[in-house]
Structure 1
Amino acid sequence: MFSRSSSYVFSASKTELKKSGVRYTAQSKKNRIDVQLLKDFPGLGVKGQIIAVKPSAMTNKLYPFNGAVYMNYKNAEPSIPVVSKQEAAAAFAALKNAERAAKKENKVKLNPILKSEIDAKKDNGETLLSLDDLLAIDLNTLSSSDLDLVFSKIPKKLIFVKKSKDNNSITSLKLSLIREQIESVLSKYIRESDVVIKFFNNSNTVISLKSEAGETLDSISKLGTYYVNVNYEEREHIITIVVNSGNN
C-alpha cells in the first residue's frame, strides 16, 4: 500500500512538472511582441525585418537606441520598407560574408608604406621575390661587411657568478676572460667563428673595461656592476657586466 501510493505521488509530480513546463513555454511565446528593426542586428535580424521579441529586449536594448519601432498596436504601419524572410536571410548572409572578408583583410593588411612600394614595383614591371627566394637570402650578406654584422650582434649585458668569501672580493676576472665570453655569445649568431676573432683583432676595434665611476680597469676584483666599451670605427657599444656572488 505504501509503495503504491509513493509511486502514484511520484508519477503525479512528474506529470505536473511537465505540464507546468509546457504552460511556461507557451506563455513566454505569447508574451513576445512584433517590432520592425531599423538597423542590422547579427543573430537577430536585418534592417526592415519584422520580428517577434521579448518586451524587455525592446524596452532595454532596441528602442532606446533607435534600433526598432513597435508594431504590436492596431493599425501599426512600418516606418521603412518591410523586408521579407527570404530577403532578410539573403541580407544576413551577405552581412556575414562582409564580416568574414573584413577579418581576412585585416589579417593580411600590409604596412601602407610597404604596400605602396610593392604596388610601385608591380606598376614598373619589376619581379617580386617569392617566399622561397626570401627564405634563401643569406642575412649575413645584407650587412655592409662581416665586421659590421659582428658589431650589431654584441650583447647588451653579461652576468658572471663568482665565489666570494667576504661577499665583496673575488678572484680576478680579467678583460681577456670577458672577451672570451663575448665571443662565445657572438658565435651563436655568427656562423663563421673566424669572423668574430677577426673583429676583435681588428685595429679599428678597441675594448676597454670601466667601473661605475668611469675608471679604466684591467680586471675585476670585487662584486658589482661594470661596463665594457667596444669601439669600432667611431661607433661605440656598451656592455653592462654584472658580477654576482655564488655564495648561498
Structure 2
Amino acid sequence: MGTTEGGVRLTLDIWHPDCWGIQATEATDAGLLVHREHRTTDETVKSHCTVFGESNEQVDAFIEHVDASQLTHVVTEAESRRGSSHVWGAPGNTSRELFVEFEPCYSIGDALVTAGFINEAPVRVVDGEEHWPVFVEDDRAGITERLDRVGERLDADISVRRITESDQLGGTVSNRRQRLTTRQREVFDLACERNYYAWPREVTTRELAEELDISKTTMLEHLRKAEAKLLARDD
C-alpha cells in the first residue's frame, strides 16, 4: 500500500477494554451489528444495534447481559420489532433491534473519527472483537501512525484485516466533510483540536460553547449533526 490520492478502505479488527458489546459477545453466543451512534443532549452516546443469534435464548441472554452491565445506562428494545423473530439482513436465525445508551468512553468510535477514519457500514461484533469497515485518506505510514495513536489512547489492539486501494473506490466517501455546514465544520474541528473526544476529556461542552460564543445546547446540536453526517452510510 503506497501513497493514495483518493483514499483507502480498511476492515479493522479491534479489541478494547470497557466495551459493553465486546463483553456481551464474549459472555454469550450472540453477535451484534452496530448501525449508528449519535450523541445525546446529555452527552451520552445512543447506539442503534441489531443483536443476532441462532435462537431466541441466545438473543435473550445477550440483552440480559447488556442490560445488567455497569457500562450501559439504558437498553431499549425497538417497539416495532419486539416479538419479531428476525430483522431483515441480519445474520443468524433470530435477531432483534436495540437502542443502547452509554458513556462515550466505552466506545472506540470517537477516537477513530478524530483520527480521520470514517465508518461506512455496520460494525460487526462477534466473539469479543469488533470489525470496523472504514475509509481513510493517507498512505501506509500515515495510517499506521493514526492506528497507533488510537490504540495507545484506548489501550486497544487493532489489526488490519482487509485493504482496498483508492482506484477501486467511489468518490462519495472521501467527500463527507463537504456535507458539513461551515458552522458544523467549525464546531467539529474545534472539538477535535481541544481533545473533546479524548479520554479523559480535556475540555467541557460549556468551555467549547463559550469559546464559540454560543449556548451549550446549540453547540451540542451542531456537533450531533456533524457526527451524523460523518458517520452516515452511503447507500
Query: Which interval holds the TM-score relative to the shorter structure?
Result: under 0.3
Larger strand proportion, structure 1 or 2? Answer: 2
Larger helix proportion, structure 1 or 2? Answer: 1
Larger RCO of the pair (alpha carbons < 8 Å, separation 6+): 2
TM-score, normalised to structure 2, is 0.19
- Max Rg structure: 1
TM-score, normalised to structure 1, is 0.19
